[in-house]
Chain A
Amino acid sequence: MAVWQMIPARAAPERQDSWLAWVRRELLGGWLNALTTLALLAWAASALPGLADWTLWQAVWRPDADACQAARGSGACWGVIAEKQRLILLGRYPAPEHWRPVLASVLLLALVVASGLRRCWKLWLLPAWMLVWTAFFGLMAGGFASLAPVPTERWGGLPLTLMLATLSILLACPLAVLLALGRRSRLPAIRVLCACYVELVRGVPLISVLFMASFLFPLFLPAGTTPDVLLRVLLGIALFAAAYLAETVRAGLQSVPTGQSDAAASIGLGWWQTQRLVVLPQALGAVVPGLMNSFISIFKDSSLITIVSLYELTGSLGLALSGDPVWRPYMIEGYCYITAIYFVVCAAMSRYSLWVERQQARALTR
């Protein structure tokens, strides 16, 4: 009979979850890794103190032009934002009526955020949108009750950016769905027309579309009608955005298996019913990240209307600072401010898009 011999105990394995192991793995694993870490730390040590100095410790926070001038070169002048904040955010809107664009933007933002939350997807959302748009334009334009009328040339800044981005997305979406469906249609004429429109519009830069909206739309319409410049620009951006959104929706339509339309046909649904009840919900759901990407692009593209002399956020910064010799040297701080605003909005949209993706992934694994 064999006698059991105890083999010597092995040493316990190294803990992989201790912070020391983590540092070894992430920062020092391999000579190239270690070298990179050292190089980056050295660069941070040399650059970060200077940056922190300029941004925080030696910066001037009060709107004091003399203090800013004294600190020039060594400290940022964040006082320029305190001084010019209203002009940057609201453009040339008359000063006593500033509460109106602020209220209008808050309402619009609140509704946009609400529309993104699942629990708000009820029947009251659609009338709420109509109500908020009426309130927005009513507040901005005025001319009734005791609100002084304000012409559209005076609208500017962040409310204008929000309005253009949101309204052009809302106008472009239905058109994009129609274009995508048309591009996959069995009827050759419709297919060719939609394909031509999408390829033509995607091949030209947005600036040329804005120039066309600004210079040529008045020529295209019957003599005597002069549509408001804001309306023309809005139409131009919506037509442009529809082409890009159409391609994303088409990708979604292609991802829906043909078996779905066959099954719908077999239970007697017509073509429009199939699209509305079976194909489009699946298609749009599949491309939500792509759609959100396009929405972020449209929001960023709204800054281009500065070139056709409408003063949204980028333009109103130029307006606020370039005409003022006292505060003009601090334009870089102004740009940091509007960069922060754009960054916050776009990053929020991309976080939302990731959240939607996660929700969908959860739904599929149930």
Chain B
Amino acid sequence: MTLRAQVPPRAPPPRQHRAWSWRSPATRALLWQALALAGLLAGLLWLVHNTQVNMAARGIQSGWDFLGQTAGFDIGEQLIAFDAGDSLARAFLVGLLNTLRVALLGILLCTLLGTLVGLGRLSHNLLLRALCRAYVELFRNVPLLVQLLVWYLLLVEYLPDASAAWNWREALFLSKAGLAFPTLVAGTNDTNGWGDWSAWHWQLPALQDFGIEGGGALSPEFIAVTVGLGCYTAAFVAEVVRAGIRSVPHGQIEAAQSVGLSRRQTLRLVTGPLALRVILPPLTNQYLNLTKNSSLAVAIGYPDLVSIANTTLNQTGRAVECIGVIMLVYLALSLLTAALMAVFNRRVALKER
């Protein structure tokens, strides 16, 4: 006889009827939500109504067709070819690429500098610790706009004119017009496009009538924004790195030493991965902050997305659409980065038993 006796199946439980009385919390919950949604909808409709009335009364046109108009203005720095005869949509694209350029280089700079400063704050040397602490305190307690303006002022006032630029071996020139460097260009007698490697040569910058022509150039606006953003965010990254390394329980390090790992191996195999898990979420937050802070470049004259949208707003008068573009693009960037980091976080999260 098995123990698993035949237990007669139970009858299904009776269907619960919802009691639609005012005293039940479920009813009240539905009511509150309905009220909240209705209130929000009413508010939004009121705003939209006001906007439409105001815009009609002032003769302001709306619509996204203005993006197809010719821009009519030049952009000083372009990653893709842009001419005054191109469309406004392309101008926005140029602005977006400029923003991404500053953001990516700034992220690189702030990670390197921040890690160094963070490790410096944990060093055994008192002078180094004090220096790094002074760096973090100074750069965290001064507003970013002030820092960007100071960097720009230093670059524009104290660097020499283009005609008297500091040069290094006639290849790198540093002056008020920026940093000029040599680039690799395809030769002119290159008949079959990419194939002719021997025709590639270095194009060196050289001083012409109006400054330095040839090669590539980083404008002082770009340098000021990237360096300013990098140094500012590096102070925050340093604190994040320091917190991450200190969060590794000392017992782990002692255990690693007890099995004979050297200090370098301990750092690479034990401290590193454990600290990284704690560092990554706030680090992503700082990267996002850096990307959003790059919008301050409009105060220095760097043609990023906000600056181009500002120009378009003034030229066409389409305030709602231009500000909408700025917000949508930054929102998309933020959500994309947050989603990527969520995926990455899930993969490296400690799998608890």
Contacts and interface: CB of A to CB of B under 8 A. Distances in A.
B51 interface: yes
Interface string A307-319: 1000000100000
Contacts, number: 147
B220 to A, nearest CB: 16
B343 interface: no
Contact of A314 (B36, B37, B145, B157): B145
B141 A346 contact: yes
A306 B145 CA distance: 9
A169 to B, nearest CB: 16
Contact of A222 (B29, B50, B143, B313): B50
Given A220-B47, A221-B50, A300-B144, A187 B33 contact: yes
How would you classify the secondary structure of chain B's contact residues: helix, strand, loop or mixed? helix
Given A189-B33, A223-B53, A332-B154, A207 B141 contact: no
A254 to B, nearest CB: 15
A343 B330 CA distance: 30
Contacts of B299: 306-307
Interface stretch (A23-31, A142-150, A354-362): A23-31
Interface in A303-343: 303-304, 306-307, 314, 329, 331-332, 335, 338-339, 342-343
A218 B47 CA distance: 11
Nearest to B325: A208
A219 B55 contact: yes
A112 interface: no
Interface string B38-81: 00100000010011011101000000000000000000000000
Given A208-B327, A306-B299, A187 B153 contact: no
Given A27-B126, A208-B326, A187 B29 contact: yes
Contacts of A307: 145, 296, 298-299
B32 A187 contact: yes
A109 B111 CA distance: 37
A284 B150 CA distance: 37
Instruction: Report the interface size class on chain A.
Output: 35 or more
A340 to B, nearest CB: 9
A211 B307 CA distance: 12
Contacts of A222: 50, 53
A304 B125 contact: no
Given A26-B125, A36-B128, A204-B330, A335 B149 contact: yes
B146 interface: yes
Interface string A182-196: 000011111001000
A215 B319 contact: yes
Instruction: Report the interface size class on chain B.
Output: 35 or more
Interface in B253-303: 292-293, 295-296, 298-299
A329 B156 CA distance: 12
A186 B319 contact: no
B32 A220 contact: no
A205 B143 contact: no
Contact of A342 (B33, B141, B320): B141
B124 interface: yes
B350 interface: no
Nearest to B130: A40
25 contacts: A26-B125, A33-B123, A40-B128, A188-B33, A190-B36, A193-B36, A204-B326, A205-B292, A205-B326, A211-B323, A211-B326, A215-B323, A216-B320, A223-B57, A300-B144, A301-B143, A303-B143, A303-B146, A306-B145, A331-B153, A332-B157, A342-B141, A342-B142, A343-B138, A347-B137
